[in-house]
Amino acid sequence: MTGAGVLWLLASPARAEEVERTDHRGSLGLLVGGGADFTREVTSGGVSEEGVRGLVESLVCFPMGLSGNEWTVGTRAGFGQSKVDVALAGGIRAYFGDDRFKTYVTAEVAVHVTPNVTAGPRLGLGIQYDFLPTVGVYLGGAAEVTAGQGIRIAGAVTAGFQFRTYIFE
């Protein structure tokens, strides 16, 4: 009985290291958040609009090799000014640091499908805190310039949660 207790105590540090894992290597994730979108848009008809919209985002994250960086794909929706702005986005999210606190940069392509169809680059940066091996909280900002049925220039501030599972290991 004592031998089993000693073996359990010796194995505990190995289990603790496994539980304290904070990298994203091999993880499938879901980012869910919201914030504010500051937009100025000039449509192809010459009509200009600007203002602040509430923003909701949901992105799925796939592992990018063994680096811990991720491919992202998902949707963002802006609400306000009696219009709904829906965009599809996809790109990469690169992390810096393996600790609980990480910084990240994003490079994505945004395609707005309403109210006007526009597409272009979206670049962002932020900080993330992983308070559990499978859950983190993030705060970030991004800027984008898209063109098509007009030109849209926007900046956004977002915060939310990332839920992960390590099924790709």
98-147: per-residue pLDDT in tens? 789 999 999 999 999 998 899 999 999 999 999 998 999 999 999 999 99
42-96: per-residue pLDDT in tens? 988 888 889 999 999 999 999 988 888 999 999 999 998 778 899 999 999 999 9
Provide the whole-model pTM: 0.84
What is the pLDDT, as a whole number, of residue 86?
A: 95
Domain boundaries, the chain: 22-165
Under a CB-based contact definition with an 8 Å cutoff, are residues 141 and 123 in contact?
Answer: no
CATH number of 22-165: 2.40.160.20
Handedness of CA 103, 74, 112, 36 (dihedral sign): negative
141-162: per-residue pLDDT in tens? 999 999 999 999 999 999 999 9
